Amino acid sequence: MIADPYNPQTLNKYSYVGNNPVNYTDLTGESWFSSVVGAVGSAISSAWNSVVSGIAGAAQRLGNWLQQNVWTPLASAIASIPSMISNLIDQVSDAIISAGLRLVAWSKVALFDTGQFFSKAWEDVKAVAGFVWASVGVMGIDMILTGLAYLTGSEVEYIDGAIVIRGGLIGNGLTTSKNGEGTGITLGNAIFLHDDADAATLYHEFQHIKQYRSWGLAFVPVYAGRYLIEVTKYYFTKHVWWDHFGYCNEWFENQAYKAEAKAYPQESGSLGCTY
Protein backbone atom coordinates (compact mmCIF):
# COMPACT_ATOMS: atom_id res chain seq x y z
CA MET A 1 0.00 0.00 0.00
CA ILE A 2 1.35 3.36 -1.05
CA ALA A 3 0.22 6.12 1.33
CA ASP A 4 0.77 9.00 -1.04
CA PRO A 5 1.50 8.27 -4.72
CA TYR A 6 2.65 11.87 -5.23
CA ASN A 7 5.20 11.74 -2.41
CA PRO A 8 8.39 9.84 -3.47
CA GLN A 9 9.23 9.09 0.19
CA THR A 10 6.24 6.77 0.37
CA LEU A 11 7.39 4.61 -2.53
CA ASN A 12 9.85 2.84 -0.22
CA LYS A 13 7.61 0.93 2.09
CA TYR A 14 10.52 0.21 4.39
CA SER A 15 11.09 3.91 5.13
CA TYR A 16 9.78 4.98 8.55
CA VAL A 17 7.48 7.97 8.84
CA GLY A 18 8.71 9.56 5.67
CA ASN A 19 12.31 9.24 6.81
CA ASN A 20 11.53 11.78 9.58
CA PRO A 21 11.46 9.76 12.81
CA VAL A 22 12.47 12.79 14.88
CA ASN A 23 9.14 14.60 14.44
CA TYR A 24 6.66 11.82 13.77
CA THR A 25 5.63 8.45 15.18
CA ASP A 26 3.78 5.75 13.26
CA LEU A 27 2.58 3.13 15.69
CA THR A 28 1.24 0.89 12.98
CA GLY A 29 4.28 1.35 10.88
CA GLU A 30 2.10 2.12 7.91
CA SER A 31 1.16 5.92 8.01
CA TRP A 32 2.53 9.05 9.71
CA PHE A 33 -0.38 11.15 8.36
CA SER A 34 -2.82 9.83 10.90
CA SER A 35 -0.71 11.11 13.73
CA VAL A 36 -0.64 14.52 12.11
CA VAL A 37 -4.41 14.51 11.75
CA GLY A 38 -4.76 13.36 15.34
CA ALA A 39 -2.57 16.16 16.61
CA VAL A 40 -4.43 18.71 14.55
CA GLY A 41 -7.73 17.32 15.72
CA SER A 42 -6.60 17.44 19.32
CA ALA A 43 -5.49 21.03 18.91
CA ILE A 44 -8.75 22.00 17.27
CA SER A 45 -10.73 20.15 19.91
CA SER A 46 -8.80 21.86 22.66
CA ALA A 47 -9.27 25.23 21.04
CA TRP A 48 -12.98 24.63 20.52
CA ASN A 49 -13.37 23.46 24.09
CA SER A 50 -11.65 26.66 25.20
CA VAL A 51 -13.95 28.73 23.01
CA VAL A 52 -17.03 26.91 24.27
CA SER A 53 -15.85 27.22 27.84
CA GLY A 54 -15.15 30.93 27.32
CA ILE A 55 -18.57 31.44 25.77
CA ALA A 56 -20.22 29.51 28.56
CA GLY A 57 -18.33 31.57 31.16
CA ALA A 58 -19.21 34.82 29.42
CA ALA A 59 -22.84 33.74 29.18
CA GLN A 60 -22.82 32.90 32.88
CA ARG A 61 -21.28 36.23 33.77
CA LEU A 62 -23.77 38.02 31.49
CA GLY A 63 -26.62 36.13 33.11
CA ASN A 64 -25.37 37.06 36.58
CA TRP A 65 -25.01 40.72 35.53
CA LEU A 66 -28.48 40.80 33.99
CA GLN A 67 -29.93 39.14 37.05
CA GLN A 68 -28.28 41.62 39.37
CA ASN A 69 -28.64 44.82 37.34
CA VAL A 70 -31.72 44.27 35.15
CA TRP A 71 -34.09 41.48 36.14
CA THR A 72 -34.02 41.99 39.90
CA PRO A 73 -34.48 45.83 39.72
CA LEU A 74 -37.10 45.36 37.01
CA ALA A 75 -39.00 42.84 39.08
CA SER A 76 -38.77 45.15 42.09
CA ALA A 77 -40.00 48.08 39.99
CA ILE A 78 -42.89 46.04 38.63
CA ALA A 79 -43.78 44.93 42.11
CA SER A 80 -43.81 48.57 43.30
CA ILE A 81 -46.09 49.77 40.47
CA PRO A 82 -49.39 49.25 42.39
CA SER A 83 -47.99 51.20 45.36
CA MET A 84 -46.75 53.96 43.07
CA ILE A 85 -50.14 54.17 41.35
CA SER A 86 -51.89 54.32 44.70
CA ASN A 87 -49.58 57.10 45.93
CA LEU A 88 -50.02 58.97 42.66
CA ILE A 89 -53.81 58.74 42.94
CA ASP A 90 -53.60 60.03 46.51
CA GLN A 91 -51.39 62.93 45.46
CA VAL A 92 -53.58 63.79 42.47
CA SER A 93 -56.70 63.60 44.64
CA ASP A 94 -55.13 65.85 47.25
CA ALA A 95 -54.02 68.26 44.54
CA ILE A 96 -57.49 68.33 42.97
CA ILE A 97 -59.19 68.87 46.32
CA SER A 98 -56.69 71.59 47.26
CA ALA A 99 -57.03 73.27 43.88
CA GLY A 100 -60.81 73.03 44.09
CA LEU A 101 -60.84 74.64 47.51
CA ARG A 102 -58.51 77.40 46.30
CA LEU A 103 -60.68 77.88 43.22
CA VAL A 104 -63.82 78.17 45.32
CA ALA A 105 -62.14 80.64 47.64
CA TRP A 106 -60.67 82.58 44.72
CA SER A 107 -64.03 82.60 42.95
CA LYS A 108 -65.77 84.03 46.00
CA VAL A 109 -63.14 86.73 46.41
CA ALA A 110 -62.94 87.41 42.67
CA LEU A 111 -66.70 87.60 42.25
CA PHE A 112 -67.09 89.76 45.33
CA ASP A 113 -64.20 92.07 44.43
CA THR A 114 -65.21 92.17 40.77
CA GLY A 115 -68.77 93.00 41.75
CA GLN A 116 -67.55 95.77 44.01
CA PHE A 117 -65.19 97.02 41.31
CA PHE A 118 -67.86 97.18 38.62
CA SER A 119 -70.37 98.64 41.06
CA LYS A 120 -67.92 101.38 42.02
CA ALA A 121 -66.95 101.90 38.37
CA TRP A 122 -70.61 102.22 37.39
CA GLU A 123 -71.19 104.75 40.16
CA ASP A 124 -68.17 106.73 38.94
CA VAL A 125 -69.45 106.65 35.37
CA LYS A 126 -72.88 107.85 36.47
CA ALA A 127 -71.31 110.59 38.58
CA VAL A 128 -69.17 111.85 35.69
CA ALA A 129 -72.08 111.63 33.26
CA GLY A 130 -74.34 113.48 35.68
CA PHE A 131 -71.73 116.18 36.23
CA VAL A 132 -71.33 116.75 32.49
CA TRP A 133 -75.11 116.58 31.88
CA ALA A 134 -75.81 119.14 34.62
CA SER A 135 -73.14 121.52 33.32
CA VAL A 136 -74.48 121.20 29.78
CA GLY A 137 -77.90 122.15 31.18
CA VAL A 138 -76.63 125.65 31.98
CA MET A 139 -74.24 125.89 29.00
CA GLY A 140 -71.18 125.74 31.26
CA ILE A 141 -72.08 128.91 33.14
CA ASP A 142 -71.52 127.04 36.43
CA MET A 143 -67.86 126.45 35.53
CA ILE A 144 -67.33 130.06 34.44
CA LEU A 145 -68.84 131.42 37.65
CA THR A 146 -66.79 128.94 39.70
CA GLY A 147 -63.60 130.29 38.14
CA LEU A 148 -64.66 133.88 38.85
CA ALA A 149 -65.59 132.99 42.42
CA TYR A 150 -62.17 131.46 43.00
CA LEU A 151 -60.43 134.52 41.57
CA THR A 152 -62.53 137.02 43.56
CA GLY A 153 -62.05 135.48 47.00
CA SER A 154 -65.10 133.29 47.50
CA GLU A 155 -64.71 130.12 49.54
CA VAL A 156 -64.75 127.24 47.04
CA GLU A 157 -65.17 123.62 48.14
CA TYR A 158 -65.94 120.29 46.49
CA ILE A 159 -68.53 118.53 48.62
CA ASP A 160 -70.18 115.20 47.73
CA GLY A 161 -69.61 115.68 44.01
CA ALA A 162 -70.80 119.31 43.91
CA ILE A 163 -68.94 122.64 43.83
CA VAL A 164 -69.99 124.79 46.80
CA ILE A 165 -69.20 128.52 46.63
CA ARG A 166 -69.80 130.55 49.75
CA GLY A 167 -69.61 134.29 50.19
CA GLY A 168 -67.34 136.66 48.35
CA LEU A 169 -68.29 138.73 45.36
CA ILE A 170 -69.97 135.86 43.51
CA GLY A 171 -71.52 133.94 46.44
CA ASN A 172 -73.04 136.99 48.09
CA GLY A 173 -73.76 138.70 44.80
CA LEU A 174 -76.05 135.94 43.50
CA THR A 175 -77.91 135.43 46.79
CA THR A 176 -79.58 137.47 49.51
CA SER A 177 -79.80 137.51 53.29
CA LYS A 178 -82.68 138.68 55.45
CA ASN A 179 -82.69 138.72 59.23
CA GLY A 180 -79.50 136.65 59.25
CA GLU A 181 -80.98 133.95 57.01
CA GLY A 182 -78.97 133.55 53.83
CA THR A 183 -80.25 132.03 50.63
CA GLY A 184 -78.67 129.94 47.94
CA ILE A 185 -78.94 129.29 44.21
CA THR A 186 -77.81 126.31 42.13
CA LEU A 187 -76.58 126.39 38.56
CA GLY A 188 -75.58 123.07 37.06
CA ASN A 189 -72.98 121.55 39.40
CA ALA A 190 -72.32 124.70 41.41
CA ILE A 191 -74.12 125.80 44.58
CA PHE A 192 -73.78 129.49 45.40
CA LEU A 193 -74.45 130.36 49.06
CA HIS A 194 -74.62 133.60 51.02
CA ASP A 195 -72.30 133.84 54.00
CA ASP A 196 -75.38 133.55 56.25
CA ALA A 197 -76.75 130.35 54.61
CA ASP A 198 -77.21 127.44 57.02
CA ALA A 199 -76.99 123.66 56.62
CA ALA A 200 -80.68 123.38 55.71
CA THR A 201 -80.19 125.76 52.79
CA LEU A 202 -77.18 123.79 51.60
CA TYR A 203 -79.21 120.57 51.79
CA HIS A 204 -82.01 122.23 49.84
CA GLU A 205 -79.60 123.25 47.07
CA PHE A 206 -78.15 119.72 46.92
CA GLN A 207 -81.63 118.56 45.88
CA HIS A 208 -81.37 120.89 42.89
CA ILE A 209 -77.98 119.35 42.01
CA LYS A 210 -79.72 115.97 41.76
CA GLN A 211 -82.47 117.51 39.64
CA TYR A 212 -79.97 119.12 37.27
CA ARG A 213 -78.17 115.81 36.83
CA SER A 214 -81.41 114.03 36.03
CA TRP A 215 -82.96 116.65 33.75
CA GLY A 216 -79.85 118.17 32.15
CA LEU A 217 -80.80 120.46 29.27
CA ALA A 218 -84.49 120.24 30.15
CA PHE A 219 -84.09 121.53 33.72
CA VAL A 220 -83.95 125.27 33.05
CA PRO A 221 -86.85 125.46 30.54
CA VAL A 222 -89.05 123.13 32.63
CA TYR A 223 -88.25 125.02 35.82
CA ALA A 224 -88.97 128.36 34.12
CA GLY A 225 -92.18 127.05 32.58
CA ARG A 226 -93.49 125.64 35.86
CA TYR A 227 -92.50 128.80 37.70
CA LEU A 228 -94.30 130.95 35.12
CA ILE A 229 -97.40 128.80 35.50
CA GLU A 230 -97.40 129.21 39.31
CA VAL A 231 -96.78 132.97 39.11
CA THR A 232 -99.51 133.40 36.50
CA LYS A 233 -101.90 131.34 38.60
CA TYR A 234 -101.32 133.54 41.62
CA TYR A 235 -101.61 136.68 39.52
CA PHE A 236 -105.11 135.74 38.43
CA THR A 237 -106.12 134.64 41.95
CA LYS A 238 -104.43 137.33 44.04
CA HIS A 239 -103.58 139.92 41.38
CA VAL A 240 -99.89 140.01 42.30
CA TRP A 241 -97.00 138.98 40.08
CA TRP A 242 -94.99 137.24 42.75
CA ASP A 243 -95.95 135.35 45.83
CA HIS A 244 -93.94 133.14 48.15
CA PHE A 245 -96.31 130.25 47.66
CA GLY A 246 -96.19 130.64 43.91
CA TYR A 247 -92.44 130.10 44.17
CA CYS A 248 -92.77 127.36 46.74
CA ASN A 249 -95.30 125.43 44.66
CA GLU A 250 -93.09 125.31 41.59
CA TRP A 251 -92.51 121.54 41.19
CA PHE A 252 -88.69 121.47 41.56
CA GLU A 253 -88.77 123.83 44.56
CA ASN A 254 -91.63 121.85 46.04
CA GLN A 255 -89.56 118.64 45.96
CA ALA A 256 -86.49 120.39 47.39
CA TYR A 257 -88.41 121.97 50.26
CA LYS A 258 -90.07 118.69 51.14
CA ALA A 259 -86.65 117.00 51.38
CA GLU A 260 -85.31 119.93 53.42
CA ALA A 261 -88.26 119.79 55.82
CA LYS A 262 -87.72 116.07 56.36
CA ALA A 263 -83.96 116.42 57.00
CA TYR A 264 -84.07 119.71 58.96
CA PRO A 265 -87.57 120.04 60.41
CA GLN A 266 -86.52 122.79 62.86
CA GLU A 267 -84.60 124.91 60.37
CA SER A 268 -86.53 124.68 57.11
CA GLY A 269 -89.02 127.25 55.93
CA SER A 270 -86.87 129.86 54.15
CA LEU A 271 -88.80 132.42 52.10
CA GLY A 272 -91.93 131.33 53.94
CA CYS A 273 -92.03 127.89 52.29
CA THR A 274 -93.10 125.37 54.96
CA TYR A 275 -94.11 121.70 54.62
Q: Residue 164 has what pLDDT? A: 95
Q: What is the DSSP string of 109-145?
A: HHHHHHHHHHHHHHHHHHHHHHHHHHHHHTTTHHHHH
Per-residue pLDDT tens for 160-185? 889 999 999 999 999 999 888 889 99
Per-residue pLDDT tens for 10-64? 666 656 566 666 666 655 555 555 556 566 667 787 888 888 788 888 888 888 8
pLDDT at 194 exceeding the cut of 90:
yes
Helices (H), 138-198: 141-151, 168-173
Q: Taking the complete model, does pTM exceed 0.75, yes or no?
A: no
Q: How confident is the model at residue 135 (pLDDT cuts 50, 70, 90)?
A: confident
Q: What percent of the chain has a predicted confidence (pLDDT) above 70?
A: 63
Cross-strand partners of 193: 166, 184
